[in-house]
Structures are given as structure tokens and as C-alpha cells.
């Protein structure tokens, strides 16, 4: 393992960071551009594949003004092997509610990424949401 693996791990982290930036900027075309052409996003029992479906999904789920906020990702672990990488990370999404900014959602991302034309793109992102303990 050497230089190229390190470059890949940092590049993967940058792709995942940009996902957060672009979600919060409501740049959903930019979010979709981080996925591969047949990239998949899953959340709960929803699974969405391909640029058109992804764009519609993000616009619907995150497009309204009251959904603007801040995705803060941390605890990123990347494993890359050649042109494929896997990552596990945690996130908290903050948004404004009547009492001010609140941590509305916390969860985990499981990602599969591939190198495509020299860039690391998301082939599959599973976004898990932490539920209230029973």
C-alpha cells in the first residue's frame, strides 16, 4: 500500500464531503453528479437509481426551504482497493425548527465508490437513520 492508496482515501473523503456541501446548498444536480451513471441511493425501504430518479428524489426530499440545514459528517473510514472503495461514516443533520437549530437526524452512511475517469464517484450510498430507542 502506498501513495496511490492514500491519495484515493483522501479523494474518497472529498467526494463524501462534497455530497454534504451540495445537499446543504440545494445543488441537487451537483449531488447527482457525484454518483455513477447507474448510482443507487437507499434510505429505509426506498431505493433510487440513476441520475433522473436521484435528482427527483433529492429535490422532493430535500428541496423545500425548511429542509435547508447542515449535514455534518465524521468518523470516516475508507478502504480502497484499485478502482473500488468502501466507506463507513456517521452524520448528523441539523435544521431550523421553531426553537432554533436542532439535530434533526443522525445516522450512518455505507458507501461503495468507483474510480471513473479519474474521479471517485458513488456507486451506492446506503443512508441509515438512527431511530428513537424503544
How many angstroms separate the CA atoms of 21 and 17, rounded? 6
Does residue 107 interact with its own copies by CB under 8 A? Answer: yes
Interactions with its own copies, residue window 15-74 (CB under 8 A): 17-18, 20-21, 24, 65-66, 68-74
Torsion angle of C-alpha atoms 13, 89, 112, 115, degrees rounded to 10: 0
The residue from 53, 55, 106, 116 that contacts its own copies (CB under 8 A) is 106
User: Closest distance between its own copies and the C-beta of residue 38, in Å?
Assistant: 25
Binding-residue total with its own copies (CB under 8 A): 48
Which residue from 126, 134, 132 is spatially nearest to 91, judged by alpha carbons?
Answer: 126
With cell 479519474, the residue in question is: 118
Does residue 81 interact with its own copies by CB under 8 A? Answer: no
Q: Do the beta carbons of residue 17 and residue 9 sit within 8 Å?
A: no
Residue closer to its own copies by CB (options 29, 101) is 101
The residue from 10, 44, 46, 83 that contacts its own copies (CB under 8 A) is 10
* Count, residues in the chain: 134
Amino acid at each position: 500500500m502506498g501513495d496511490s492508496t492514500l491519495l484515493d482515501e483522501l479523494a474518497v473523503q472529498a467526494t463524501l464531503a462534497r455530497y454534504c456541501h451540495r445537499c446543504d446548498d440545494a445543488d441537487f444536480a451537483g449531488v447527482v453528479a457525484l454518483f455513477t451513471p447507474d448510482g443507487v441511493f437507499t434510505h429505509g425501504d426506498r431505493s433510487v437509481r440513476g441520475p433522473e430518479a436521484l435528482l427527483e428524489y433529492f429535490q422532493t426530499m430535500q428541496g423545500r426551504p425548511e429542509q435547508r440545514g447542515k449535514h455534518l459528517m465524521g468518523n470516516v473510514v475508507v478502504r480502497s482497493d484499485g478502482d473500488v472503495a468502501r466507506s463507513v461514516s456517521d452524520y448528523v443533520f441539523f435544521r431550523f425548527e421553531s426553537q432554533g437549530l436542532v439535530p434533526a437526524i443522525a445516522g450512518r452512511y455505507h458507501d461503495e465508490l468507483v474510480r471513473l475517469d479519474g474521479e471517485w464517484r458513488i456507486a451506492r450510498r446506503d443512508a441509515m437513520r438512527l431511530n428513537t430507542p424503544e
